[in-house]
Chain A
């Protein structure tokens, strides 16, 4: 079945450091890929998405490129801030005849940025 695998956390960085959170997926067909962010005590917010191969999603300085050849969707940011501390979830949306759009999530990666 479809699945998403994220790098284990927590990831601890100093402010202005470069961030990479790895995400790989297993899926039949051509899923859409997403990154969601969860700040402490809050729900999930969509951070960025990509709907087809080679698409690059970007938002708030974060980027991720849909790589079909490596089945990956790694999240990157050039210079992190303390306010980026949160849990990051990679997810894929299944496609199929029912088109229910169910999301399959990775386990989440906790990012802690220290000043």
Chain B
């Protein structure tokens, strides 16, 4: 079966510090991968998606970047965090072969920038 893991689950970072959130998917190959952000009291916003290794599409201009160094690994980064980067970050994956166009989410990472 397919699983998705992301970490860390919770982190508190000072303004101006770097960020690295990692996500891995198991049990599938060549998945589409996504990073979403959920700000407090708001809906979900798609930040990045990737259809293959090294292929990253950005949905909104921002202080964050994403990378996909391996087929099932997706990393969200920032060189210098801003207060507005606080939120709940969700990694997700999709495979047409197994899920019929369904996207599955990880457990999420709570980021608080102080």
Inter-chain CA distance A104–B107, complex, in Å, is 19
- Asked, given contacts A43-B108, A44-B105, A46-B104, whether A101 binds B43 with beta carbons under 8 Å apart, the answer is no
Q: A43-B107, A43-B108 are in contact. Are A101 and B90 (CB under 8 A)?
A: no
CB distance B102 to A105 under 8 Å? Answer: no
Give the distance to chain A from B7, nearest Cβ to Cβ, in Å: 12
Asked if B44 is an interface residue, CB under 8 A from chain A, the answer is yes
**Total A-B contacts with CB atoms under 8 angstroms apart:** 56
B104 cross-chain contacts in A, Cβ below 8 A: 46
Does A65 count as interface, using CB distance less than 8 angstroms?
Answer: no
Chain B residues with Cβ below 8 Å from A102 are 34, 46, 49, 59
What distance in Å separates the Cβ of A95 from its nearest Cβ neighbour in chain B?
8
Contacts of B42 in A (CB 8 A): 107
Inter-subunit contact B108/A105 (CB<8 Å): no
Given A100-B49, A100-B57, are A46 and B102 also a contact pair (CB < 8 Å)?
yes
* Chain B window 28-44, contacts with chain A (Cβ cutoff 8 Å), 1 for yes, 0 for no: 00001010000000111
Q: Name A110's closest neighbour in chain B (CB-CB).
A: B41
Interface centre among A42, A43, A103, A106 (most CB of B within 10 A): A43
> Is A105 touching B44 in the complex (CB atoms < 8 A)?
yes
- Does B114 reach chain A (CB closer than 8 Å)? no
Interface string of A3-30 (1 = CB under 8 A from B): 0000000000000000000000000000
- Closest beta carbon of chain A to B74's beta carbon, Å: 14
Count of chain B residues with a beta carbon within 8 Å of a chain A beta carbon: 23
Query: Contact at A49–B51, with CB atoms within 8 Å?
Result: no
Interface residue? A89 (CB, 8 A): yes
Listed by A's residue number, 22 A-B pairs whose Cβ atoms lie within 8 Å are A32-B101, A34-B102, A34-B103, A36-B105, A42-B108, A43-B107, A45-B105, A49-B102, A89-B44, A100-B49, A100-B51, A101-B96, A101-B103, A102-B59, A103-B44, A104-B46, A105-B43, A105-B44, A106-B43, A107-B42, A108-B43, A108-B44
Chain A positions near chain B (C-beta within 8 angstroms): 32, 34, 36, 42-46, 49, 51, 89, 93, 98-108
